[in-house]
């Protein structure tokens, strides 16, 4: 058929129409699928394209001391953020921004790394930027399309270094924390408590972040007024009231020798509340706010004094003579000795047992001693004999029953349990030899395999100051949060407790090992201790309690000074001055810096109470 024949033309035209109909139909079906069938999914995608959820940080709960004074609160701070945008644009913006914010090239790289791992969230370029930095970037807003300045509450620790180990510090949540069930619902970039009360009560303090939606364009720029946006307001965190006494804490910070390492714990006898908890050296937790600088962090973590280490609850030291009271309490509880009973062997500066000689700390000897005298003079020979009467197995059993190998259950995120043999086979397991009966002599005077934290010893002395029971030391006063640990009990009669306290009182009385620590207005009771630390100088302990004359003790204070050598010279004055400060403020007596007998003598001031009768 010829090409120009109408029939031939019609045939080909029909074919062409079919081709057009087929291709257009294909397009029509594709558009029908996208715009009608799956439209809602695409609409959702379109909204998530243009809306960015910005977290509205919740103000963290404030922390107050027992008198309602602020320990930690929030002040306004301004953070520089970049909204999510394509990676190249974020990188370019960061590099242009770096000189204004004082960011190094490494800092930019670190930020980009963080952006890569979480490209849908706003990137915090600088938390709590200084005002000049803030205005420098704000002035150049047009250069930084996705810039967003956010008001974020900034944490402030009013007492700084004085309360560092109690309150802890804040930091950005780590990947490991994100995976832990304790941090369920937290998002990357959240700022959480890293230590101390901030960590322990993180869930109470944190609050719930709100959300705000803003419209952004393809470059991540916030456009227009936030039209059609909605917001969920943040819920602030709970405020906390602690048992801590801010003035006392600062007083300890003030009197603790700057060059020394150690810890001071002050407990309220009435309820076991922690009045003060101090560890030296300390650090300024404000340096952590908004992210600590790498140099600062290196200085803190490489400092040989380990300022981040909370010695009050993590430091374990052989308790030395302060533990003799535990031996005495066990002896009394078991009934192997009575308070007035004199031990048969007099102290001649040493005692032989087995095939060796066991020395007393005083080579001149103490003669015949009963319980009160033995505590007063810290006579080792008396306690050797008491230990032998109790026997190794029973001593271990009673000491572990009381909890000397347990943690106190304090409401702090990290606490180390005391170290104490759990049974007689402990020596076999640990050292590979059977325990000899001689071990009990070491344990009885607080030596041997026995290490306790200052807080644990303080809890023990609270039991001595009370009726033999001691609640777990607590920082939190309100709101009420139940703690799993129950109080522990020495099961001692009032008469036995009174005998032990009589011994402790004699330590500070004239002729006692710590008489120079005695105070004008208060009855001070206590026990020195020396924890052997070869080849270095010994650590000095003092565990004390004090109250108005003739009344039960109201405060227990335990101090340890590393390499302090003598408990009576370095640790006892710390305890005495701490207790004196607390009680003077409690009873309205003006605070004086010259407090102990030793200070009075050095200052040449009369000390009328030193010869007061009835303290023997």
Using CB under 8 A, list all residues that contact other proteins.
2-4, 6, 8-10, 12-13, 15-17, 19-21, 23-24, 26-28, 30-32, 34-36, 38-43, 45-47, 49-50, 86-87, 215-219, 221, 223-224
Cβ-based nearer residue to other proteins, 28 or 479: 28
Choice between 60 and 221, CB closer to other proteins: 221
**Cβ-based nearer residue to other proteins, 82 or 325:** 82
Q: Which is nearer to other proteins, 227 or 551 (CB)?
A: 227
Q: Which residue has the tokens 């270094």?
A: 161
Cα 569 to its chain centre, rounded Å, is 29
Question: Which residue in the block uniquely carries the two structure tokens 């710590």?
Answer: 514
- DSSP secondary structure code for residue 367 in this structure: B
CB 375 within 8 A of CB 328: yes
Q: Whole-angstrom Cα distance, residue 173 to residue 84?
A: 20
Half-sphere exposure in the Cβ direction for 127 (13 Å, CA): 22
Nearer to other proteins, 19 or 603 (CB): 19
Instruction: Give the number of other CB atoms < 10 A from CB of residue 260.
Output: 16
Closest contact distance (angstroms) between CB of 90 and other proteins is 11
Measured distance CA(489)–CA(544) in Å, rounded: 19
Please identify, using beta-carbon distances, which residue of 228 and 479 lies nearer to other proteins. 228
Residue 19 or 130 with smaller CB distance to other proteins: 19
What is each CA distance from 589 to 29, 111, 240, 246, 267, in whole angstroms?
92, 56, 29, 18, 20
The CB-of-82 to other proteins minimum distance in angstroms stands at 15
Conformational region of residue 614, where left means phi above 0, alpha means psi within -120 to 50, and beta covers everything else: left
Residue among 195, 267, 162 nearest 415 (CA): 195
- State the number of CA atoms in the 13 A half-sphere of 233 facing the CB: 3
Min dist CB 458 to other proteins, Å, is 59
Residue in the structure block whose two tokens are 């009608």: 36
Backbone angles phi, psi at 597, to 5 degrees: -60, -45
Give the other-Cβ count within 10 Å of 443's Cβ.
25
Shortest distance in whole angstroms from residue 87 CB to other proteins: 7
CB of 54 to other proteins, least distance (A): 17
If the CB atoms of residues 7 and 106 are measured against other proteins, the closer one turns out to be 7
Separation of alpha carbons 284 and 169, rounded Å = 9
Angle between helices 324-334 and 380-390 (to 10 degrees): 40
Q: How far is the CB of 430 from other proteins (least distance, A)?
A: 60
DSSP 252-300: HHHHS-TT--EEEEEEETTT-BEEEEEEES---GGGGTT---HHHHHHH
Q: Which residue has the tokens 């344990």?
A: 443
Bridge partners for 54 per DSSP: 212
> Whose Cβ is closer to other proteins: residue 70's or residue 112's?
112
Query: Minimum distance from CB of 96 to other proteins (Å)?
Result: 18
At closest approach, how far in Å is the CB of 98 from other proteins? 23
Cis peptide leading into 137, omega within 30 of 0?
no
Q: Which is nearer to other proteins, 13 or 208 (CB)?
A: 13
In the complex with other proteins, which residue's Cβ is closer, 15 or 479?
Answer: 15
Classify strands 356-359 and 170-172 as parallel, antiparallel or unpaired. unpaired
CB of 143 to other proteins, least distance (A): 14
CA separation for the pair 246, 65 (Å, rounded): 6
Q: How far is the CB of 80 from other proteins (least distance, A)?
A: 21
CB of 48 to other proteins, least distance (A): 9
Question: Whole-number minimum distance, CB 120 to other proteins, in Å?
Answer: 12
Instruction: With H, G, I as helix, E, B as strand and everything else as coil, classify residue 184.
Output: coil
The contacts found for 179-186 with CB under 8 angstroms, 24 or more apart, are: none
Structure-token match 């120079």, residue found: 516
Pairing between strand 63-64 and 240-242? Answer: parallel
Residue nearer to other proteins on the CB measure, 6 or 99: 6
Query: Which H or E run includes 614?
Result: none
CB-nearer residue toward other proteins: 65 or 215: 215
Tell me whether residue 23 or residue 589 sits nearer to other proteins (CB atom): 23
Minimum gap (Å) between residue 6 Cβ and other proteins: 7
Q: With contact defined as beta carbons under 8 Å apart, do 558 and 539 qualify?
A: no
Smallest gap from residue 252 Cβ to other proteins (A): 56
């Amino acid at each position: 058929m010829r090409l120009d024949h109408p029939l031939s033309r019609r045939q080909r035209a029909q074919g062409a129409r079919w081709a057009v109909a087929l291709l257009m139909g294909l397009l029509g079906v594709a558009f029908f699928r996208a715009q009608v069938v799956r439209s809602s999914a695409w609409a959702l995608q379109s909204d998530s394209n243009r809306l960015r959820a910005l977290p509205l940080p919740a103000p963290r709960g404030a922390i107050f001391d027992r008198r309602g004074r602020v320990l930690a609160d929030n002040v306004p701070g301004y953070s520089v953020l970049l909204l999510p945008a394509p990676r190249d644009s974020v990188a370019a913006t960061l590099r242009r921004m770096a000189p204004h914010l004082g960011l190094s090239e490494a800092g930019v790289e670190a930020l980009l790394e963080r952006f890569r791992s979480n490209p849908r969230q706003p990137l915090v370029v600088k938390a709590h930027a200084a005002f000049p930095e803030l205005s420098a970037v704000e002035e150049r807003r047009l250069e930084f399309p996705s810039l967003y300045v956010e008001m974020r509450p900034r944490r402030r620790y009013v007492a700084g270094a004085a309360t560092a180990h109690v309150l802890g510090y804040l930091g950005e949540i780590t990947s490991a924390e994100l995976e832990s069930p304790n941090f369920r619902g937290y998002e990357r970039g959240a700022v959480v408590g890293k230590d101390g009360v901030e960590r322990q009560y993180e869930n109470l303090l944190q609050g719930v972040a709100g959300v705000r939606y803003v419209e952004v364009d393809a470059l991540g720029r916030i456009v227009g007024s936030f039209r059609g946006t909605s917001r969920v307001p943040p819920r602030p965190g709970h405020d906390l009231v602690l048992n801590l006494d801010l003035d006392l804490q600062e007083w300890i910070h003030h009197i603790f020798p700057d060059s020394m390492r150690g810890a001071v714990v002050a407990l309220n006898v009435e309820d076991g509340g922690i009045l003060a908890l101090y560890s030296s050296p300390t650090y300024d937790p404000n340096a952590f706010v908004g992210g600590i600088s790498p140099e600062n962090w290196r200085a803190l973590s490489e400092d040989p004094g380990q300022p981040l280490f909370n010695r009050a609850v993590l430091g374990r030291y052989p308790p030395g003579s302060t533990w003799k009271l535990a031996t005495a309490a066990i002896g009394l509880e078991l009934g192997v000795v009575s308070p007035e009973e004199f031990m048969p062997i007099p102290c001649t500066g040493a005692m032989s047992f087995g095939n060796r000689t066991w020395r007393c700390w005083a080579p001149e000897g103490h003669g015949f001693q009963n319980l009160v005298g033995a505590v007063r003079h810290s006579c080792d020979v008396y306690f050797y004999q008491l230990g032998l009467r109790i026997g190794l197995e029973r001593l271990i059993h009673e000491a572990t029953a009381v909890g000397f190998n347990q943690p106190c259950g304090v409401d702090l995120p990290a606490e180390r349990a005391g170290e104490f043999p759990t049974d007689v086979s402990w020596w076999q397991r640990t050292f590979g030899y059977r325990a000899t009966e001689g071990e009990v002599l070491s344990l009885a005077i607080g030596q041997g395999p026995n290490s306790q934290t200052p807080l644990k010893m303080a809890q023990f002395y609270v039991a001595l100051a009370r009726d033999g029971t001691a609640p777990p030391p607590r920082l939190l006063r309100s709101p009420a949060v139940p703690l799993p640990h129950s109080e522990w009990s020495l099961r001692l009669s009032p008469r036995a407790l009174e005998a032990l306290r009589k011994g402790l009182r004699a330590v500070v009385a004239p002729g006692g090992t710590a008489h120079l620590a005695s105070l004008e207005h208060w009855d001070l009771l206590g026990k020195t201790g020396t924890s052997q630390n070869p080849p270095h100088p010994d650590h000095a302990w003092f565990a004390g309690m004090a109250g108005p004359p003739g009344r039960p003790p109201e405060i227990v204070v335990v101090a340890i000074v590393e390499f302090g050598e003598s408990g009576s010279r370095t640790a006892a004055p710390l305890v005495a001055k701490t207790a004196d400060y607390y009680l003077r403020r409690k009873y309205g007596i003006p605070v004086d810096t010259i407090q102990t007998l030793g200070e009075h003598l050095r200052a040449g001031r009369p000390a009328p109470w030193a010869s007061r009768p009835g303290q023997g």
